[in-house]
Amino acid sequence: MQTYFHQLADAMSSLLTGEEVYTASFNSEDSDFVRFNKSEVRQAGSVVQHDLSVDLIEGQRHCAGSLRLTGDFETDRARVAKLFKELREKRAHLPEDPHLLYATEVHSTESVASRELPDGASAVADIQQAGAGRDLVGIYAAGGIHTGFANSLGQRNWHSTFTFNFDWSFYHRADKAVKTSYAGFRWDPEAFARKVAWASDQLRVIEHPAKRIEPGRYRVYLTPAALYDIVGLLAWGGFGLKAHKTKQTPLLKMVEEGRTLNPSVTVREHTAGGVAANFQEAGFLRPDAVTLIEAGAYKDCLVSPRSAKEFGVPSNGASAMESPESVEIAAGDLPQSEVLSRLGTGVYVSNLWYLNWSDRTACRTTGMTRFATFWVENGEIKAPLDVMRFDETAYRMLGDRLVGLTRERDFILDAGSYFQRSTASGNLPGALVEEFTFTL
Protein backbone atom coordinates (compact mmCIF):
# COMPACT_ATOMS: atom_id res chain seq x y z
CA MET A 1 0.00 0.00 0.00
CA GLN A 2 2.92 2.35 0.67
CA THR A 3 4.28 1.80 -2.84
CA TYR A 4 0.81 2.35 -4.27
CA PHE A 5 0.48 5.68 -2.44
CA HIS A 6 3.89 6.83 -3.66
CA GLN A 7 2.94 5.95 -7.24
CA LEU A 8 -0.24 7.95 -6.85
CA ALA A 9 1.74 10.87 -5.39
CA ASP A 10 4.02 10.90 -8.43
CA ALA A 11 1.00 10.81 -10.71
CA MET A 12 -0.50 13.81 -8.90
CA SER A 13 2.69 15.80 -9.51
CA SER A 14 2.21 15.30 -13.24
CA LEU A 15 -1.27 16.88 -13.03
CA LEU A 16 -0.02 20.25 -11.79
CA THR A 17 0.01 23.38 -13.95
CA GLY A 18 1.78 26.71 -13.54
CA GLU A 19 2.89 27.42 -9.96
CA GLU A 20 0.57 24.88 -8.37
CA VAL A 21 1.56 22.84 -5.34
CA TYR A 22 -0.36 19.98 -3.79
CA THR A 23 -0.39 18.38 -0.35
CA ALA A 24 -2.04 14.99 0.10
CA SER A 25 -2.97 12.85 3.09
CA PHE A 26 -3.67 9.14 2.85
CA ASN A 27 -5.57 7.05 5.42
CA SER A 28 -6.08 3.33 5.08
CA GLU A 29 -7.05 0.35 7.20
CA ASP A 30 -7.48 -3.38 6.88
CA SER A 31 -9.41 -4.43 9.96
CA ASP A 32 -11.32 -7.43 11.22
CA PHE A 33 -14.31 -6.90 13.53
CA VAL A 34 -16.07 -9.48 15.69
CA ARG A 35 -19.10 -8.59 17.80
CA PHE A 36 -20.05 -10.71 20.85
CA ASN A 37 -23.27 -11.01 22.80
CA LYS A 38 -24.01 -13.61 25.48
CA SER A 39 -20.45 -14.84 24.89
CA GLU A 40 -21.23 -15.90 21.32
CA VAL A 41 -20.12 -14.44 18.01
CA ARG A 42 -23.07 -12.48 16.63
CA GLN A 43 -21.41 -10.65 13.75
CA ALA A 44 -18.04 -10.87 12.03
CA GLY A 45 -16.60 -8.99 9.09
CA SER A 46 -13.64 -7.21 7.58
CA VAL A 47 -13.12 -3.65 6.37
CA VAL A 48 -10.55 -2.55 3.80
CA GLN A 49 -10.69 1.12 2.89
CA HIS A 50 -8.38 3.81 1.50
CA ASP A 51 -9.05 7.56 1.59
CA LEU A 52 -7.17 10.40 -0.05
CA SER A 53 -7.43 14.10 0.85
CA VAL A 54 -5.82 16.69 -1.43
CA ASP A 55 -5.24 20.42 -1.06
CA LEU A 56 -4.49 22.09 -4.42
CA ILE A 57 -2.57 25.31 -3.82
CA GLU A 58 -1.56 28.25 -5.97
CA GLY A 59 -0.04 31.17 -4.09
CA GLN A 60 -2.33 31.87 -1.13
CA ARG A 61 -5.39 30.37 -2.79
CA HIS A 62 -6.22 26.73 -2.22
CA CYS A 63 -9.09 24.27 -2.39
CA ALA A 64 -9.32 20.89 -0.68
CA GLY A 65 -11.23 17.75 -1.55
CA SER A 66 -11.22 14.03 -0.83
CA LEU A 67 -12.25 10.72 -2.32
CA ARG A 68 -12.42 7.02 -1.52
CA LEU A 69 -9.83 5.04 -3.44
CA THR A 70 -10.37 1.65 -5.03
CA GLY A 71 -6.79 0.41 -4.80
CA ASP A 72 -6.57 0.00 -8.57
CA PHE A 73 -3.96 2.48 -9.81
CA GLU A 74 -5.39 3.21 -13.25
CA THR A 75 -8.90 3.71 -11.92
CA ASP A 76 -7.73 5.92 -9.08
CA ARG A 77 -5.39 7.99 -11.26
CA ALA A 78 -8.34 8.93 -13.48
CA ARG A 79 -10.50 9.78 -10.46
CA VAL A 80 -7.73 11.91 -8.94
CA ALA A 81 -7.30 13.75 -12.24
CA LYS A 82 -11.02 14.55 -12.18
CA LEU A 83 -10.71 15.77 -8.58
CA PHE A 84 -7.80 18.06 -9.52
CA LYS A 85 -9.87 19.56 -12.31
CA GLU A 86 -12.78 20.23 -9.96
CA LEU A 87 -10.54 21.74 -7.29
CA ARG A 88 -8.86 24.01 -9.83
CA GLU A 89 -12.24 25.29 -11.02
CA LYS A 90 -13.46 25.96 -7.48
CA ARG A 91 -10.20 27.61 -6.40
CA ALA A 92 -10.60 30.29 -9.04
CA HIS A 93 -13.58 31.64 -7.08
CA LEU A 94 -11.96 31.58 -3.64
CA PRO A 95 -10.17 34.49 -1.93
CA GLU A 96 -6.58 34.29 -0.73
CA ASP A 97 -6.18 32.54 2.60
CA PRO A 98 -4.03 34.67 4.95
CA HIS A 99 -3.47 31.74 7.33
CA LEU A 100 -2.39 29.13 4.79
CA LEU A 101 0.81 27.41 5.85
CA TYR A 102 2.26 24.11 4.69
CA ALA A 103 5.64 22.43 4.93
CA THR A 104 8.08 23.65 2.28
CA GLU A 105 11.21 21.97 3.66
CA VAL A 106 11.31 18.32 2.69
CA HIS A 107 11.42 15.94 5.66
CA SER A 108 10.55 12.41 4.57
CA THR A 109 10.02 9.66 7.16
CA GLU A 110 9.03 6.01 7.31
CA SER A 111 7.75 4.03 10.28
CA VAL A 112 6.42 0.51 9.80
CA ALA A 113 5.69 -1.49 12.94
CA SER A 114 6.06 -5.24 12.99
CA ARG A 115 2.82 -7.16 12.62
CA GLU A 116 2.39 -9.38 15.66
CA LEU A 117 -1.39 -9.51 15.76
CA PRO A 118 -3.04 -12.67 17.02
CA ASP A 119 -4.65 -15.19 14.76
CA GLY A 120 -8.31 -14.20 14.73
CA ALA A 121 -9.54 -17.71 15.52
CA SER A 122 -7.24 -17.96 18.55
CA ALA A 123 -8.37 -14.59 19.93
CA VAL A 124 -12.03 -15.51 19.44
CA ALA A 125 -11.47 -18.87 21.16
CA ASP A 126 -9.86 -17.16 24.17
CA ILE A 127 -12.72 -14.66 24.36
CA GLN A 128 -15.41 -17.34 24.21
CA GLN A 129 -13.63 -19.36 26.87
CA ALA A 130 -13.49 -16.24 29.09
CA GLY A 131 -17.22 -15.75 28.62
CA ALA A 132 -18.24 -19.32 29.36
CA GLY A 133 -21.16 -19.26 31.80
CA ARG A 134 -21.39 -15.46 31.66
CA ASP A 135 -22.97 -12.82 29.44
CA LEU A 136 -19.94 -11.35 27.72
CA VAL A 137 -20.75 -8.41 25.43
CA GLY A 138 -18.18 -6.59 23.34
CA ILE A 139 -16.42 -5.97 20.08
CA TYR A 140 -12.99 -7.15 18.97
CA ALA A 141 -11.18 -5.13 16.29
CA ALA A 142 -7.72 -5.85 14.88
CA GLY A 143 -5.64 -4.99 11.87
CA GLY A 144 -3.38 -2.49 10.21
CA ILE A 145 -3.83 1.28 10.12
CA HIS A 146 -1.77 3.20 7.58
CA THR A 147 -1.19 6.95 7.25
CA GLY A 148 0.71 8.75 4.52
CA PHE A 149 1.63 12.27 3.45
CA ALA A 150 2.98 13.51 0.14
CA ASN A 151 3.48 16.83 -1.58
CA SER A 152 4.72 18.00 -4.95
CA LEU A 153 7.95 19.23 -3.35
CA GLY A 154 9.06 15.63 -2.96
CA GLN A 155 8.21 14.93 0.67
CA ARG A 156 6.99 11.44 1.47
CA ASN A 157 5.92 10.25 4.93
CA TRP A 158 4.53 6.87 5.90
CA HIS A 159 3.32 5.31 9.15
CA SER A 160 1.90 1.81 9.64
CA THR A 161 0.75 0.37 12.94
CA PHE A 162 -0.91 -2.94 13.78
CA THR A 163 -3.10 -3.11 16.85
CA PHE A 164 -5.98 -5.01 18.41
CA ASN A 165 -8.66 -3.71 20.76
CA PHE A 166 -11.18 -5.82 22.62
CA ASP A 167 -13.71 -3.51 24.31
CA TRP A 168 -16.03 -5.64 26.44
CA SER A 169 -18.25 -6.09 29.48
CA PHE A 170 -19.55 -8.81 31.72
CA TYR A 171 -23.25 -7.95 31.88
CA HIS A 172 -25.30 -8.73 34.98
CA ARG A 173 -28.72 -7.09 34.62
CA ALA A 174 -30.39 -3.71 34.01
CA ASP A 175 -27.59 -1.11 34.22
CA LYS A 176 -25.22 -3.40 36.10
CA ALA A 177 -22.12 -4.55 34.23
CA VAL A 178 -18.36 -4.63 34.54
CA LYS A 179 -16.64 -2.89 31.64
CA THR A 180 -13.01 -3.25 30.71
CA SER A 181 -10.78 -3.57 27.67
CA TYR A 182 -7.71 -5.37 26.47
CA ALA A 183 -5.71 -3.73 23.71
CA GLY A 184 -2.20 -3.74 22.33
CA PHE A 185 0.06 -5.10 19.64
CA ARG A 186 0.55 -8.74 20.62
CA TRP A 187 -2.10 -10.93 22.23
CA ASP A 188 -0.89 -12.32 25.54
CA PRO A 189 -3.26 -15.02 26.87
CA GLU A 190 -1.90 -14.59 30.41
CA ALA A 191 -2.44 -10.83 30.38
CA PHE A 192 -5.95 -11.34 29.02
CA ALA A 193 -6.62 -13.94 31.72
CA ARG A 194 -5.66 -11.40 34.40
CA LYS A 195 -8.16 -8.94 32.90
CA VAL A 196 -10.82 -11.63 32.94
CA ALA A 197 -10.06 -12.54 36.57
CA TRP A 198 -10.30 -8.88 37.63
CA ALA A 199 -13.63 -8.46 35.82
CA SER A 200 -14.93 -11.70 37.33
CA ASP A 201 -14.13 -10.45 40.83
CA GLN A 202 -15.99 -7.22 40.13
CA LEU A 203 -18.93 -9.12 38.65
CA ARG A 204 -19.36 -11.07 41.88
CA VAL A 205 -19.59 -7.78 43.77
CA ILE A 206 -22.20 -6.17 41.52
CA GLU A 207 -24.42 -9.21 41.96
CA HIS A 208 -25.04 -7.89 45.49
CA PRO A 209 -27.79 -5.34 46.18
CA ALA A 210 -26.75 -1.82 45.24
CA LYS A 211 -26.03 0.77 47.92
CA ARG A 212 -27.28 4.34 47.73
CA ILE A 213 -25.26 7.21 49.12
CA GLU A 214 -26.37 10.79 49.58
CA PRO A 215 -25.06 13.57 47.34
CA GLY A 216 -21.98 15.16 48.84
CA ARG A 217 -18.22 15.06 48.85
CA TYR A 218 -16.42 11.74 49.09
CA ARG A 219 -12.93 10.35 48.86
CA VAL A 220 -12.70 8.58 45.48
CA TYR A 221 -10.35 6.57 43.35
CA LEU A 222 -10.52 7.22 39.61
CA THR A 223 -9.13 4.35 37.54
CA PRO A 224 -6.91 5.18 34.54
CA ALA A 225 -9.93 4.56 32.28
CA ALA A 226 -12.01 7.09 34.24
CA LEU A 227 -9.16 9.62 34.24
CA TYR A 228 -8.75 9.11 30.48
CA ASP A 229 -12.38 10.17 30.01
CA ILE A 230 -11.79 13.34 32.05
CA VAL A 231 -8.60 14.19 30.18
CA GLY A 232 -10.41 13.53 26.91
CA LEU A 233 -12.89 16.27 27.74
CA LEU A 234 -10.06 18.54 28.87
CA ALA A 235 -8.42 18.00 25.48
CA TRP A 236 -11.54 19.42 23.83
CA GLY A 237 -10.09 22.89 23.31
CA GLY A 238 -7.91 22.75 26.40
CA PHE A 239 -4.47 22.60 24.86
CA GLY A 240 -4.76 24.31 21.45
CA LEU A 241 -3.14 27.67 20.75
CA LYS A 242 -6.23 28.93 18.90
CA ALA A 243 -8.44 28.23 21.93
CA HIS A 244 -5.94 29.93 24.22
CA LYS A 245 -5.62 33.04 22.06
CA THR A 246 -9.41 33.37 21.65
CA LYS A 247 -9.97 32.72 25.38
CA GLN A 248 -12.09 29.63 24.76
CA THR A 249 -9.81 27.20 26.56
CA PRO A 250 -11.12 25.68 29.80
CA LEU A 251 -7.59 26.28 31.15
CA LEU A 252 -8.01 30.06 30.87
CA LYS A 253 -7.41 30.56 34.61
CA MET A 254 -4.06 28.77 34.28
CA VAL A 255 -3.01 31.00 31.40
CA GLU A 256 -4.27 34.36 32.68
CA GLU A 257 -4.44 34.00 36.45
CA GLY A 258 -1.58 31.61 37.13
CA ARG A 259 -3.81 28.86 38.56
CA THR A 260 -1.97 25.60 38.99
CA LEU A 261 -2.68 21.91 39.44
CA ASN A 262 -1.00 19.61 41.92
CA PRO A 263 2.80 19.64 41.44
CA SER A 264 2.68 15.90 40.72
CA VAL A 265 0.67 16.51 37.53
CA THR A 266 2.65 16.62 34.28
CA VAL A 267 0.75 16.21 31.01
CA ARG A 268 2.42 15.60 27.65
CA GLU A 269 1.51 14.92 24.06
CA HIS A 270 3.88 11.96 23.77
CA THR A 271 3.86 11.05 20.08
CA ALA A 272 6.87 8.74 20.42
CA GLY A 273 4.99 6.68 23.00
CA GLY A 274 1.69 6.43 21.12
CA VAL A 275 0.46 4.84 17.91
CA ALA A 276 -0.46 7.97 15.94
CA ALA A 277 1.73 9.14 13.05
CA ASN A 278 4.54 11.61 13.75
CA PHE A 279 3.43 13.94 10.94
CA GLN A 280 0.25 15.85 10.17
CA GLU A 281 -1.87 16.80 7.19
CA ALA A 282 0.17 19.85 6.08
CA GLY A 283 3.46 17.92 6.16
CA PHE A 284 4.90 19.21 9.44
CA LEU A 285 6.63 16.66 11.66
CA ARG A 286 5.67 16.23 15.28
CA PRO A 287 8.32 16.22 18.01
CA ASP A 288 8.61 13.13 20.17
CA ALA A 289 6.90 15.00 23.01
CA VAL A 290 5.32 18.36 23.82
CA THR A 291 4.93 19.16 27.53
CA LEU A 292 1.56 20.81 28.03
CA ILE A 293 1.47 21.02 31.84
CA GLU A 294 4.67 20.66 33.86
CA ALA A 295 4.64 20.08 37.62
CA GLY A 296 1.13 21.50 37.77
CA ALA A 297 1.85 24.68 35.79
CA TYR A 298 0.82 25.56 32.23
CA LYS A 299 3.77 24.98 29.93
CA ASP A 300 2.95 24.91 26.21
CA CYS A 301 0.22 24.61 23.57
CA LEU A 302 -0.36 22.40 20.57
CA VAL A 303 0.11 24.63 17.52
CA SER A 304 -1.35 23.77 14.12
CA PRO A 305 0.09 25.38 10.96
CA ARG A 306 -2.90 27.72 10.61
CA SER A 307 -2.56 28.93 14.20
CA ALA A 308 1.18 29.30 13.70
CA LYS A 309 0.59 31.57 10.72
CA GLU A 310 -2.22 33.52 12.38
CA PHE A 311 -0.39 34.19 15.64
CA GLY A 312 3.18 34.32 14.39
CA VAL A 313 4.63 31.37 16.31
CA PRO A 314 6.29 28.13 15.13
CA SER A 315 4.09 25.09 14.55
CA ASN A 316 4.82 21.99 16.60
CA GLY A 317 3.06 19.63 14.22
CA ALA A 318 -0.39 19.64 15.79
CA SER A 319 -3.38 18.65 13.70
CA ALA A 320 -6.01 21.18 12.71
CA MET A 321 -7.99 20.19 15.83
CA GLU A 322 -5.02 21.00 18.09
CA SER A 323 -5.94 18.13 20.42
CA PRO A 324 -3.52 15.56 21.85
CA GLU A 325 -3.62 12.18 20.14
CA SER A 326 -1.06 10.43 22.37
CA VAL A 327 -1.75 11.95 25.77
CA GLU A 328 0.37 11.00 28.75
CA ILE A 329 0.22 11.86 32.45
CA ALA A 330 3.35 11.21 34.47
CA ALA A 331 3.17 8.43 37.04
CA GLY A 332 2.94 9.16 40.74
CA ASP A 333 4.22 7.26 43.77
CA LEU A 334 1.05 5.48 44.97
CA PRO A 335 1.43 1.70 44.49
CA GLN A 336 -1.57 0.16 42.77
CA SER A 337 -1.61 -2.54 45.42
CA GLU A 338 -2.31 0.10 48.09
CA VAL A 339 -5.17 1.89 46.32
CA LEU A 340 -7.98 0.38 48.38
CA SER A 341 -6.20 0.78 51.72
CA ARG A 342 -5.32 4.39 50.90
CA LEU A 343 -8.86 5.03 49.73
CA GLY A 344 -10.08 3.81 53.10
CA THR A 345 -13.78 4.64 53.02
CA GLY A 346 -15.11 6.11 49.80
CA VAL A 347 -15.98 5.42 46.17
CA TYR A 348 -14.09 3.36 43.60
CA VAL A 349 -14.95 4.72 40.12
CA SER A 350 -14.21 2.38 37.21
CA ASN A 351 -15.83 4.24 34.30
CA LEU A 352 -17.47 7.56 33.45
CA TRP A 353 -19.81 8.67 30.68
CA TYR A 354 -21.85 11.62 29.41
CA LEU A 355 -19.09 14.07 30.30
CA ASN A 356 -19.55 17.72 29.42
CA TRP A 357 -18.67 21.18 30.67
CA SER A 358 -20.89 22.63 33.38
CA ASP A 359 -18.72 25.77 33.53
CA ARG A 360 -16.10 25.83 30.80
CA THR A 361 -14.23 28.94 31.98
CA ALA A 362 -13.88 27.42 35.46
CA CYS A 363 -12.77 24.07 33.97
CA ARG A 364 -15.76 22.45 35.69
CA THR A 365 -16.85 19.06 34.42
CA THR A 366 -20.07 17.15 34.93
CA GLY A 367 -20.73 13.52 34.11
CA MET A 368 -22.06 10.18 35.32
CA THR A 369 -20.50 7.13 36.87
CA ARG A 370 -21.02 3.99 34.84
CA PHE A 371 -20.89 0.24 35.25
CA ALA A 372 -18.76 -1.01 38.15
CA THR A 373 -18.64 1.78 40.76
CA PHE A 374 -18.20 0.52 44.32
CA TRP A 375 -18.58 1.60 47.91
CA VAL A 376 -15.41 0.90 49.90
CA GLU A 377 -15.16 0.73 53.69
CA ASN A 378 -11.87 0.41 55.58
CA GLY A 379 -10.08 -0.58 52.39
CA GLU A 380 -12.55 -3.29 51.35
CA ILE A 381 -15.10 -3.22 48.53
CA LYS A 382 -18.49 -3.67 50.19
CA ALA A 383 -21.20 -3.03 47.60
CA PRO A 384 -21.93 -1.69 44.13
CA LEU A 385 -23.29 1.85 43.89
CA ASP A 386 -26.14 3.10 41.76
CA VAL A 387 -25.25 5.53 38.98
CA MET A 388 -24.41 9.00 40.29
CA ARG A 389 -23.70 12.41 38.75
CA PHE A 390 -20.56 14.32 39.64
CA ASP A 391 -19.62 17.97 39.17
CA GLU A 392 -15.99 18.94 39.74
CA THR A 393 -13.26 21.26 38.50
CA ALA A 394 -9.86 20.12 37.28
CA TYR A 395 -8.35 22.53 39.79
CA ARG A 396 -9.76 20.34 42.57
CA MET A 397 -9.58 16.87 41.00
CA LEU A 398 -6.01 17.32 39.76
CA GLY A 399 -5.17 20.22 42.05
CA ASP A 400 -5.60 20.84 45.75
CA ARG A 401 -7.78 17.74 46.33
CA LEU A 402 -5.49 15.28 44.56
CA VAL A 403 -4.06 12.86 47.11
CA GLY A 404 -1.85 10.96 44.69
CA LEU A 405 -1.36 9.30 41.32
CA THR A 406 -0.55 5.63 40.96
CA ARG A 407 2.94 4.39 40.25
CA GLU A 408 1.59 2.05 37.59
CA ARG A 409 -0.06 3.38 34.43
CA ASP A 410 -2.41 1.84 31.87
CA PHE A 411 -1.76 2.19 28.15
CA ILE A 412 -5.20 2.81 26.66
CA LEU A 413 -6.03 2.55 22.98
CA ASP A 414 -9.12 4.47 21.86
CA ALA A 415 -11.74 1.96 20.75
CA GLY A 416 -13.41 4.43 18.37
CA SER A 417 -14.04 3.27 14.82
CA TYR A 418 -16.17 6.08 13.41
CA PHE A 419 -15.07 6.48 9.75
CA GLN A 420 -11.89 4.55 10.64
CA ARG A 421 -10.29 2.86 13.64
CA SER A 422 -8.75 5.46 15.88
CA THR A 423 -5.01 5.82 16.55
CA ALA A 424 -5.55 7.97 19.64
CA SER A 425 -4.09 6.62 22.87
CA GLY A 426 -3.35 7.47 26.46
CA ASN A 427 -0.83 6.41 29.08
CA LEU A 428 -2.31 7.33 32.44
CA PRO A 429 -2.17 6.52 36.14
CA GLY A 430 -5.12 6.23 38.46
CA ALA A 431 -5.94 9.16 40.75
CA LEU A 432 -6.89 9.24 44.43
CA VAL A 433 -8.97 12.35 45.14
CA GLU A 434 -10.56 13.63 48.33
CA GLU A 435 -13.79 15.66 48.65
CA PHE A 436 -14.96 14.69 45.17
CA THR A 437 -18.43 16.17 44.59
CA PHE A 438 -21.42 13.99 43.71
CA THR A 439 -24.52 16.09 43.04
CA LEU A 440 -27.19 13.38 42.72
pLDDT band at 393; cut points 50, 70, 90: very high
79, pLDDT greater than 90: yes
123, pLDDT greater than 90: yes
Q: What per-residue confidence (pLDDT) applies to 148?
A: 98
pLDDT band at 174; cut points 50, 70, 90: confident
91, pLDDT greater than 90: yes
Q: What per-residue confidence (pLDDT) applies to 22?
A: 98
Q: What per-residue confidence (pLDDT) applies to 182?
A: 94
pLDDT band at 371; cut points 50, 70, 90: confident
Average pLDDT rounded to a whole number, residues 44-59: 97
Q: Which CATH superfamily is domain 2-206 in?
A: PmbA/TldD superfamily (3.30.2290.10)
pLDDT per position as a tens digit, 188-206 = 999 999 999 999 999 999 9
In SS3 terms, the chain reads as CHHHHHHHHHHHHCCCCCCCEEEEEEEEEEEEEEEEECCEEEEEEEEEEEEEEEEEEECCEEEEEEEEECCCHHHHHHHHHHHHHHHHHHHCCCCCCCCCCCCCCCCCEEEECCCCCCCHHHHHHHHHHHCCCCEEEEEEEEEEEEEEEEECCCCEEEEEEEEEEEEEEEEEECCEEEEEEEEECCCCHHHHHHHHHHHHHHHHHHCCCCECCCCEEEEEEECHHHHHHHHHHHCCCCCEHHHHHCCCCCCHHHHHHCCCCCCCCCEEECHHHCCCCCECCCCCECCCCEEEEECCEECCCECCHHHHHHHCCCCCCCCCCCCCCEEEECCCCECHHHHHHHHCCEEEEEEEEEEEEEEHHHCEEEEEEEEEEEEEECCEEEEEECCCEEEEEHHHHHHHCEEEEEEEEEEEECCCCCCCCCCCEEEEEEEEEEEEEECC
pTM of the full structure: 0.94
Whole-number average pLDDT of the chain: 96
165, pLDDT greater than 90: yes
119, pLDDT greater than 90: no
Q: List the chain domain ranges.
A: 2-206, 216-438
Q: What per-residue confidence (pLDDT) applies to 75?
A: 96
